[in-house]
Chain A
Amino acid sequence: MGSPTKIRATAKDDSTEVKILMSHEMENGRRKDDEGNLIPAKYITEVAVRHNDRIVLECQFGTAVSKDPYLIFRFKGGKQGEKISVYWIDNKGDNRLDEAVIG
């Protein structure tokens, strides 16, 4: 569901820097639409980032992570051409898995 997650992973020295931009509205459930109706909460609750098959970062989000969640982090190891995957799931069960290779 939704648009693909943008992933840029760069190997530098002995570590890899990963930049991630997820596409998600991150609705907190407290906003109202133009007619005054409450917009239901819809936000990413969990994210797992894997290098090949190993988890290198897990995130648990509340409603106050900004729209289109953005992350930068680094892990030791990682070589050009190896796989990085980002999986997210939201409070309604929508989810996405996207992949990129380390550059």
Chain B
Amino acid sequence: MINLARRKALKTGGGLGLLGFLAAVGLLQSGTAWAERNNHAFEVKTLDEALDALGAVLPENSAAIQLTAPETAENGAFVPITVSSSLPRIEQISILVDKNPTILTANFILPEGTEGFITTRIKMGQTAMVIVLVKSDGKFYRAAREVKVVLGGCS
């Protein structure tokens, strides 16, 4: 049953490559070694598709995630984002922007011992929601906030 489903997915999933496919369906454990980039998740154009590609269907909102971003970003080319969470055993933090041409901006894979904290800078083409996903003990949680963009950053 599983083999048949896998074979079918492998056939239809073509361009992803085996490792990409295995990673996409979560058969490879991340963190233990260099994880294969989930290329498909970086190409999709809608938030639903991106969540689906990450395996994060209907993530719960969590007050245990602090998403720090400017209310108004003068320059969309450099929008500082900090994600910090007290959730247990955080394996992954993902940053998504719902109105960028591609939704998924970055995945951070955190091995055991790395704190649930990341600061980075992203590009935003226009005012949009920044959505962060935190994977804790195998389950995805989310937090989101709107960032108003004055000058779009060619995302």
If A58-B30, A71-B118 touch, whether A65 touches B123 (CB-CB below 8 Å) is: yes
Task: For B120, give its contact among A48, A54, A56, A69 (CB under 8 Å).
Answer: A69
A59 touches B108 (CB 8 A): yes
**Complex Cα gap A77–B79 (Å):** 30
Output the least CB separation between B73 and chain A (Å): 11
| Complex contacts, B134 vs chain A, CB 8 Å | none
**Complex Cα gap A26–B101 (Å):** 15
| CB-defined A-B contacts under 8 Å, sample of 29 | A15-B115, A28-B101, A28-B154, A31-B154, A46-B37, A48-B34, A55-B34, A55-B111, A56-B113, A57-B110, A59-B106, A60-B35, A60-B38, A60-B42, A60-B109, A62-B102, A62-B105, A63-B155, A65-B105, A66-B153, A70-B120, A70-B121, A71-B118, A73-B108, A73-B114, A74-B117, A75-B113, A75-B114, A77-B113
- Count of A-B residue pairs with CB < 8 Å: 110
| Complex contacts, B34 vs chain A, CB 8 Å | 46, 48, 55, 58
A59 touches B107 (CB 8 A): yes
B100 at the binding interface (Cβ < 8 Å): yes
Interface residues of chain A, those whose CB is within 8 Å of chain B, are 15, 26, 28, 30-31, 45-46, 48, 54-67, 69-77
B16 at the binding interface (Cβ < 8 Å): no
A66 touches B109 (CB 8 A): no
Grouping DSSP codes into helix (H, G, I), strand (E, B) and loop, the A interface class, with mixed when no group exceeds half, is strand
B114 touches A28 (CB 8 A): no
B154 touches A30 (CB 8 A): yes
**Complex Cα gap A75–B118 (Å):** 11
Count the B residues whose beta carbon is within 8 Å of the partner chain — how many?
38
| Complex contacts, A67 vs chain B, CB 8 Å | 77-78
Output the least CB separation between A84 and chain B (Å): 13
A65 touches B120 (CB 8 A): yes
